[in-house]
């Protein structure tokens, strides 16, 4: 019966099998939640996406749509148009949620594109589980993802819609190694993370899959030269402007100070000239042939030039009474 149901589901999903990619079968614990990624083609970027529940396409009923989000809290949906992935989350899981679900892209005037996955809810430990579906790392660092399992089959690590690794290898330039040193656990180690390492991956064991989302953030200490240049550019411009303003200010201050000193020096010279009184020294030699050397020496008069501040004396009108005349013989 289960084989017949799988055949019917495969036939009913045939129309959308190449347009949408998701997990095939997931096992989760009751009481928790699960997020399922659905990868679609770029031509469906602006289409409505939704989740449909039911064992057959003809009998399924939609639970949540991107243009009509649910308010019950049981289902939620979001669409990352840049990555071309819409995700559906089912919360408060119970055994009644064990069912087939459909990731669907709505097509106006035609058949909707869809693909299905099976969700199994158990009260025991799931056959394939992970502690956290959301894992964050930084560029250049290393992270390890532990996938606990009790299911038979080959261990694989896959990128959603991309290639798979069984032991070690590289996906988008990121190195991976898979080890099973602990019983019931296989560990995936991602080395030298880069921004391209971000995305949805799948832990795979046999026919079970568990989706894991890796987010890689920028690690500032490992920025390359160009990144540092872009980061520091605003600060360099501001610092250059500040230095220019300081230089202009210093130059202006220096010129004003120099002008002030020149002006003060000129004022000092002018003041000195006003305070000096010049006296004329006349040397008169006695030309009389009868004069003796002693008499000639009497004819020489010496005078000194003494700087002295001029005193302004009020002018007095002269009259005959104030004038005394004398004759020098």
Cβ–Cβ under 8 Å, residues 78 and 65: no
DSSP 280-321: ---------TT--HHHHHHT-------B------------GG
Class of domain 125-218: mainly beta
Cβ–Cβ under 8 Å, residues 218 and 168: no
Task: Report the pLDDT value the prediction gives residue 216, as an integer from 0 to 100.
Answer: 94
Q: Residue 111's closest CA among 198, 12, 32, 254?
A: 12
Do 125-218 and 1-124 fall under one CATH topology? yes
Q: Which residues of 183-199 are buried (b: 16+ CB within 10 A; e: fewer)?
A: eeebebebbebeeebbb
Task: Report the pLDDT value the prediction gives residue 182, as an integer from 0 to 100.
Answer: 81
Q: State mean pLDDT over 145-159.
A: 91
Task: Report the pLDDT value the prediction gives residue 322, as an integer from 0 to 100.
Answer: 54
- Give dist(CA 191, CA 205) in Å, integer: 22
pLDDT tens, position by position, 17-63: 458 999 999 999 999 999 999 999 999 999 999 999 999 999 999 89
Task: Report the pLDDT value the prediction gives residue 219, as an integer from 0 to 100.
Answer: 78
Assigned CATH topology for domain 1-124: Immunoglobulin-like (2.60.40)
**pTM (2 decimals)?**
0.63
Cβ–Cβ under 8 Å, residues 49 and 38: yes
Q: How confident is the model at residue 13 (pLDDT cuts 50, 70, 90)?
A: very low
Q: Would the pLDDT of 91 be above 80?
A: yes
- Domain boundaries, given as residue ranges, for the chain: 1-124, 125-218
pLDDT tens, position by position, 235-254: 888 888 899 999 999 989 88
């Amino acid at each position: 019966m289960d084989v017949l149901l799988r055949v019917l589901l495969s036939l009913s999903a045939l129309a959308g099998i190449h347009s949408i990619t998701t997990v095939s079968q997931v096992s989760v614990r009751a009481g928790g939640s699960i997020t399922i990624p659905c990868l679609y083609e770029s031509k469906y970027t602006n289409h409505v996406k939704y989740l449909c529940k039911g064992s057959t396409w003809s009998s399924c009923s939609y639970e949540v749509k991107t243009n009509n989000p649910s308010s019950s809290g049981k289902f939620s949906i979001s669409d990352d148009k840049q990555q071309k992935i819409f995700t559906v989350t089912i919360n408060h899981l119970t055994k009644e949620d064990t069912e087939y679900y459909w990731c669907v892209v709505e097509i106006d005037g035609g058949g909707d594109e869809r693909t299905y996955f099976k969700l199994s809810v158990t009260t025991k430990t799931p056959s394939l589980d992970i502690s956290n579906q959301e894992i964050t790392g930084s560029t250049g660092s290393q992270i390890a993802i532990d996938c606990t399992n009790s299911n038979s089959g080959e261990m694989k690590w896959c990128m959603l819609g991309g290639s798979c690794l069984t032991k070690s290898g590289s996906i988008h330039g990121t190195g991976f190694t898979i080890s099973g040193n602990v019983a019931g656990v296989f560990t995936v180690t991602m080395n030298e993370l880069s921004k391209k390492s971000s995305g949805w991956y799948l832990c795979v064991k046999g026919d079970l899959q568990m989706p894991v989302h890796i987010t890689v953030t920028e690690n500032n200490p490992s920025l390359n030269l160009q990144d540092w240049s872009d980061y520091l550019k605003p600060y360099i411009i501001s610092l250059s402007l500040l230095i220019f303003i300081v230089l202009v200010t210093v130059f202006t201050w220096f010129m004003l100070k120099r002008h002030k000193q020149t002006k003060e020096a000129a004022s000092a010279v002018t003041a000195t000239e006003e305070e000096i009184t010049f006296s004329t020294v006349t040397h008169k030699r006695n030309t009389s042939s009868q004069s003796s050397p002693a008499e000639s020496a009497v004819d020489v008069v010496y005078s000194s030039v003494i700087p002295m501040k001029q005193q302004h004396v009020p002018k007095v009108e002269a009259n005959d009474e104030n004038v005394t005349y004398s004759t020098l013989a």
